[in-house]
Amino acid sequence: MNVKIPELLAPAGSPEGVRAAVQSGAGAVYRGYGTFNARRNAQGFSHEEMADAIAYCRARNVKSNITLNILVGDRELDDALEDAKFLYEAGADALIVQDLGLARLIHAHAPDFALHASTQMTIHTLDGARQARDIGFSRVVLSRECTREQIEQITREAGVETEVFVHGALCMCYSGQCYLSAVIGQRSGNRGLCAQPCRLPYNGGYPLSLKDLMLAGHVAELADWGVSSLKIEGRMKRPEYAAIVTKVYADLLREHRKPTAGERDILRRVFSRDGFTDGYYTGKKGDSMFGTKTDVPMNEVKALYDEAARRFAEGKEAPLVPVNLFFSARRDTGAVLSAGEVTVTGGTEQAKNRPTTPEMVEKMRWLISCADIITPNITEVALLLDEPFTPRISPEEIKGRLRRLSAMGPQTVVATSVPLLEGGRDPGQNTSVIAYERDEDRFWRIDCAYIPGGHVLQRAHGQPHSGRQPVHRIGSRRPVRHPRHPGHVRARAALARRHPAGAYPRQPVRARLDLQMPDHGRGRLL
């Protein structure tokens, strides 16, 4: 099964919250702007802060989804459209909208501005999702009351992206369609001013207070169904909360697994209401879904909050700059590393073999979690995954391994020196380069003859090129001569000449691998 990792959508109620979410692994951040959002009591963003936050996210390849998710009066439409215009020009990726009239106007004025149907539109059926799609929404945020069966069916059959809440507060009323706050305190929840009367005591108890939702144990199956975005609630909570919860879910998504007991405990300590519930999702509704806020001693959570605060503290992140690096190494002239106008030179020495230790492998795993593209050889693939090395490997086996490697962090994995089986048979002296691009869940392959150690692979100077190596999709023998997708890999190499075993060539050894990959923005200088 081809599995695309869903976007992890984290909340932010302030500029600090944006940094907290981004630095903790969010793929997108949602937040409110102005007076037309469902959390008007959050700290919020000024005009300049919102523009800066959008630019901050864009530079880090993180999307900005902005909430305009309340019911809008006729006399407010012009102001709401002005907000939408500003957000469009600032570079926001999508608007989360509840009001159908506002959605229609935005779509008419900016047809290429992505619109997401808010959970407060109460979409919980296949027909509802299809109708939202037909009127111009590119994504539906499903009701938090949906069962797993409803989510799976809508995701597979509606023909529109789905977004599912996986963690955070639940409303007593269906998808927040509540008039209790307006009746009791003249603060309408559908106007962004909910006073949370469901959390208050009545007749000596708390009969309306639901526990927070937690679907940490179900993120893998949501990903398998093709859910586009997993959403964390919490724009009213402090940035440390968003940082902690986002990191836990980011780890679960990247590693495609269930939470450990320790991770469940972290989620409980940072915020819970006598534990959590998945009653709507599993269909096990009942009294066990109700609870009130759990008071955890500060000494139990202080270390969690302090660590989270250090992660997103302003000024701690390395600056983002465009960098072009050039490196060359020769036995006679030494090594040269250049970056712009800065050049560093050094000597070379005979390589020494060192045994691979568990500590080295663990550091390699940490390093690849920070990378966009990695190029391990087949032995390193096995080490990183803690799996046995096999002298020959089938296409399905290598596809599975590259997917698992990509789930550890990198967007693109290019595995070299792959001894690939052909139709279950050993083809003899050949090797392959296999590339995997996660966003599109695509694999690409280049085959070539095995070159013994006494031969030199270098770019030929003054010699005719031997021709472009055909690129194959895994599982297909048909060469792709003109790749159109940006994740394609092209490789060109020429075998110049042979040298006796152990002989050192007069010219430096050069191998060229041209990669055409998606633009991930500027790299991070560490």
The shares of helix, strand and coil residues in the chain, as percent rounded to the nearest 5, are 35, 20, 45
Q: What is the rounded distance in angstroms from the CA atom of residue 210 to the CA atom of residue 213?
A: 9
pLDDT in tens, 308-341: 888 788 666 755 566 677 878 777 778 888 877 7
Average pLDDT, the chain: 80
pLDDT in tens, 432-478: 899 999 888 889 888 877 665 444 433 333 333 333 344 444 443 33
Strand, coil or helix: 271: coil
pLDDT in tens, 180-231: 877 777 777 666 677 788 888 998 899 999 999 999 999 999 999 999 999 9
Position 505 scores a pLDDT of: 35
Q: What is the DSSP letter of 95?
A: E
Using alpha carbons only, give the angle 293, 168, 48 rounded to the nearest 5 degrees: 110
pLDDT in tens, 64-78: 999 998 888 888 888
Contact 239, 26 (CB under 8 A): no
Position 62 scores a pLDDT of: 95
Strands laid side by side in the 325-330 sheet: 325-330, 334-339, 342-346
Contact 246, 11 (CB under 8 A): no
Q: Across the chain, how many H-helices and E-strands are there? A: 15, 23
pLDDT in tens, 302-315: 888 888 888 788 66
CATH superfamily of 7-312: Aldolase class I (3.20.20.70)
The residues spanned by each domain of the chain are 7-312, 322-353, 356-515
